[in-house]
Structure 1
Amino acid sequence: LFSIAEQLDILNQLKYKCLRCSVDSAKDSINEKLLFVNIDPEIIHYEAYNIESILEYLKKISFSSTNIILDIKEKSYISDLNSFRALVKDARDNEFKLSIDDTGSGLLSLTMLSETNADYLKISMDLIRNIYNNRVNKSIISLLLDFTLSTRTKLIAKGVETAEELEALIEMGIQYGQGFLFGQPDSSFRGISEDKVKLIKDIQKRKQRYFYNTPNAIPIGALAKTIPIVTSGDCGSKVDELLKKNPTLQGIPVVDNGYVIGLIKRSSFFAQLATQYGVAVFMKRPIKLLMDKTPMIVDCNTPLSFVSKAAVSREEENLYDYIIITKDEKYYGVTTVKNLLEFTTEMELNRAKQSNPLTGLPGNMSIEEKLNKAIAAVENCFVMYLDLDNFKCYNDVYGFENGDRVIVLTADIIRESIWDMGFRDSFVGHIGGDDFVAVIYTQEVESLCNLIIRKFDSRIKGFYSPDDRENGYITAQNRCCIEERIPLMSISIAVADLSKHKCISATQLSEYLSRIKKKCKSINKSSYIIE
C-alpha cells in the first residue's frame, strides 16, 4: 500500500490518514496511556501534515497532545536539518513527546539523538533477536542503557518474541518492551494477558534471587521519601513559603495531575529572587518560569546500581539535585545522591563483611538469612549441601596454599555448573573450609549434581602429583599417626527437597542435610543423595 502511494506521490497523505485513524481508534479507550504514532521527518515538505494540523485535529476530537509520542524512525532521511530542528521545537512547545524508532539500525543515529533529545528510544529488533546468546548485541544495548540513564531517556526493547529474550533484557536492566510475546496487534488497546504479567513478575523474582542483597536487586523505590510538591500554576510566593518552612528541602518537584514536569531548586529559586526585580517579577507569577524542565526522573523499579551510575554522570551543577522517583509514570517521591551513595556503600560493606574472603561467596549470615526466607516462603526449591571428601589429608600433605586452590576450584565448579544449566536465579554460599550451600529453583537438580561431579572428578586430578594421580591415592598419617592410603578427593552432595520437608528454621534444615551428607560419605566416591 505504501509503495503504491509513494509511486502516486501521495505517501504523505496516506501517512497523515494513518495517524488520524490511530488517534480516532485510541481516543475513547487510551485514558492515561501513551499512544506512539509513527511520523516521518519529511512531513515538513507536506503542509497539511505538520504539528499545527495535528494539533488542530486533536483539539477537534478533544485528545491531549501529552498522550501522544511522535515516533521518528532512525532510518528516516533528514534532507533539511534546520527545518527538522524547527519541527522538533514545534513539537516540544506543544507538549508532544518524541521517540526514535529502530535505534541501532540506521546511519544517522547520532545526529538524530543529538537533534531530538528524545524521551524514548526503541531498540531495533535486529539487536533484540536471540539477545540471550549474543555478546556483541548485549554490549551495544548496555551502551544504549548507560546513555539513556545519563540523559533521562526511557529505553524500549522492540520486537521481543520469546521468554528467553525477555529474561535476558530484564537481567540487563531494560524496563520497557514491546513485541509479539506480549500480544498481536489489536485495535482495542487491551493490556497484556495475565499469563504474560505473571511471566514478567517471575523473571523479576528470579533476578532478585540471583542478585540477592546487592544494588542490582534493590529498586530505587526503597529509598523514596515524600516531600511537598507544587503545580506549574502555583506562584513563586507559595514556593518561597514552603522552602522557608522546610529549611532542609533542597528543592520542590513540580507535579501536574500526578505527572512530574519539573523541579524547583532552592539555590536557583532564591538566586532569582535576589536579582534587582526578582521578588516583584516572580512572587506572583507561575513557578513553571523558574523550574528545571529536565530533572533526573527514574522509575521506582530501577535498580540502585543503574541510578547511581546515572546520578553521578550528571553535570556538576546538577550533581546534588533531587532524584525524582515515579511509579507507573506518576510522581512517587524523591531521594538524594547522599542517601543513595550511603545506602549502596553500607550494603556493599555489609556484603563484604558477610562474604567468604577466599571465594567471595556469601558467608554464614547470608546463608542463614537465605535459608530462612526460602523456608518461610514455602518455595518449591532444593537446598544442596556440598562437602569434599579426604580434603584434610590433602591439605596436610600438599599444604594450605594448595588446599585453598582446591576450595576456590570447588566454588568455581559449583557456580559454573549452575550457570551452564541456566539456573541463574540460584544462590550459592560458602559455609567455610570445604563446605558449600546452594539453593536451586528447578526440578533438574539431579542433572546439576551429575554435572558438578563430572567437572570435579575430572579437574581435581590436576591438583595431585603424577605419581599420586597414577596410584589413585596419597599416603598420609591418620589421627593415630599410622600411615595409610587415602583416596583422591571426591565430592559429596546432600540435597533436601523443601516441597517434601517442612523445616521450621535454617538450623533444623542444616541438621537434616548433615544426616544426608553422612550417607553420601559412606559411598567412598563422588556421589549425591536427594531426599
Structure 2
Amino acid sequence: MHTLTDQSISSDNHTRTALRALMEGRALGMVFQPIVRLEDGAVLAHEALVRGPEGSALHLPAVLFATARAMELESELEIACVEAAVRQFNPATPGQLYVNCSAGTIRHLASEGCVQLLSLLAQHGLSPSRLVLELTEHERVTEVDVLRMSLARLAALGISVALDDFGDGRSSLRLWAELAPPRVKLDRYFTHSIHTDSRRVEAVRAAVQLARSFGAELVAEGIEEEAELAVLRDLGVHMGQGWLLGRPRGQTVHRVPEALAALMQTRQIAVLPDTPHRDAAGTVSRLAMSAPAVEPDTANLAVVQVFNEHPQLLALPVLDQGIPVGLINRRSFMDLYTQPYHKEVYGKKPCALFMNPNPLRVERSTPLESMSTVLAGEDQRYLYDGFVVTEHGRYVGVATGESLVRAVTEMRIEAARHANPLTFLPGNIPITEHLRRLMAGKVHYAASYFDLNNFKPFNDLYGYYRGDEMIKLAARSIQREADPLRDFVGHVGGDDFIVLFQSEDWQARCERIIRSFNAEARGLFNAEELASGCMEGEDRRGNRTRFPLTTLCAGVVLGQGAGFRTAEEVASAAADAKRQAKAAGGGLHVQAAGDSANDAGRAAAVA
C-alpha cells in the first residue's frame, strides 16, 4: 500500500513525464493576445501565451514553469515556447509576435540557438523583424554586459527585445537604462484603476517621460476598462494590452471591434483623478533664525545687554548645556526691569526667575502642515514669545509666532488653489491645467461658470453654517449631472464653480443642474421666506431691501479648438457669460467663442 509520500512522488514523476512529452512532442498550446496602438486601435502585435492540455495539471502556465523549474528544465521550456509560438502564429496576421524569455534563453538564442531560430522563422514565413523577445524576471539578470552583447547580435538580425513588467522587478529601471530596449511594457499594477488613483497617474507620467528620454515605446498591460484606456492614451502611452482590447485566444485578430476603435479615435481628453496637493512650504527649519542664548544662571543685567545689542530679538532662549529650558519674552522682561528699584533688586539675580520654563519647542524637521494644530491650541503665548527650534532636542534657533502664522496662511491659500477645503473639489490650479489640456488637444468643450444668485443675503440671514450647506448642495447638484469620465468639475471658491464639459449634451446637463438645485435649495429656507418668496437683508449700500430666493445660474462659452488663445481668455469669457446670466435674472446664458458682453444678440439665453 502506497503512503501519502509515495503517492506524491508518483504524481510528481507523472507530471514531469508529461512535461517532457509536451516539449518533445511539440504539444504545447499557444493563445495570442493583441497589442493595440492606443491612438487609433490598430493591432500592432500579439503576445504568445503558453497553455498546457485542457483539463490537465499542466494547463496553467504557472504550473508548467514551476514544474520545469523543479526539473531544471526552465530554459528548455522557454525555447519550446518560442518554437511553438512561431509555429502556431498566423503569418498573415499584421504586426509582430511577442514571446516571453528569461535572460539566459535570450543569450542562448543569440548564440548557439541562433541558426535554428532563423531557420524556424523562415520555415513559417516570418521575417526576424517580426519577432520580439520579452525579457522577464529582471531581478535574476546578473551579467548585464553579456546580455547587452546578445541583444546587439539579435538586433543585427532584426530581432528586437522588450522589457516586460516594468515597475515590478527590482532592477527594471537600471536594466532599461543599460539595455535601452526599443519597447517597455508597464506592469499591470500601474494600469489597474489608474483613472481613480493619482499616484498611478504620476508614476505612468514619469514612465512616459523616461520613454521619451530613452527613445522607447511604452506598452500598458492589463487594460480592462474604458476609463483606464482614456487616461493612458492621454498620458502618452503608445500601445496597450488587456481584456478590454482583446482576450487571449487561439486565433489572432486583424482589428479591434469598431466601437472600441471609435472610442480610441475620439479626441476627448480624459479627466484625471485629483492629485492631492503636496505641501511645498517645507519644514519648520525655514522659519528658524539664529539668535544668541543665555544660561539659567545668567544675571539679568547681562540679559538687558543682550536685548540692547539685538533690538530685533523678541525672545531670548535659555539653554542648559545646549538644551533649551526656557524663553524670556523681551517686552515682559523690559517692562518689569524698568520699574522702580527692579534693577537694583534683580539685576544680579539669575534670569531663570523671569523665563517661561515651558516654551514651545519644535524640531526643525517638523512639517509646517502639522503646525496648523498649534494655531488652534489653547496656549497662545507662542504668538508673542515665539518658539524654540531644535534638532534632536538641542538648540538650533528661534522662530516668531508671526512667521508661523504667515507661513501656515500662505500654505493654506496655496492648498485651496489645488482643492477647495469645503467641497474637496479641484481648485484653480487643477482647473487651469485641465483647461490647457483641452486647448492643447484642440477638442470641443463647453466652459460653464456656475454661481449662486443672492447668496450673500442668504448667508447674512441664516449664517455661515447654512451657507456652507447651500454651497455643498450646489457641488452635489453639479457632480450628479457631470460625466466623471468626460466632464471636469472644479470649485473656484465661495459659491463659484467651473465645469469643463466634453459631453455633447452639456446644455441639457446644465439645465438639469439648475433645476435640481433650485428645487432642493428650497429646503434650506425657513417657512417665512418660502411663503413670501423673498429674503430681507441689506444691499451693498447698507439699505434694507428684499431679495429673491437664492437660485443657481450659469454662463457658458464654447471652446472649439483654437477659439481661445489662453486659459485665462476662456476663464474671463466664462465669467462674462456668468455675469450676463445673473443680469438676466438667472438661468443659463450661452455665449459662443468671440462674443463679447455687448454682443448679446449672438448669444442664446435659456430661461
Q: Which has the larger radius of gyration?
A: 2
TM-score, normalization: structure 1?
A: 0.48
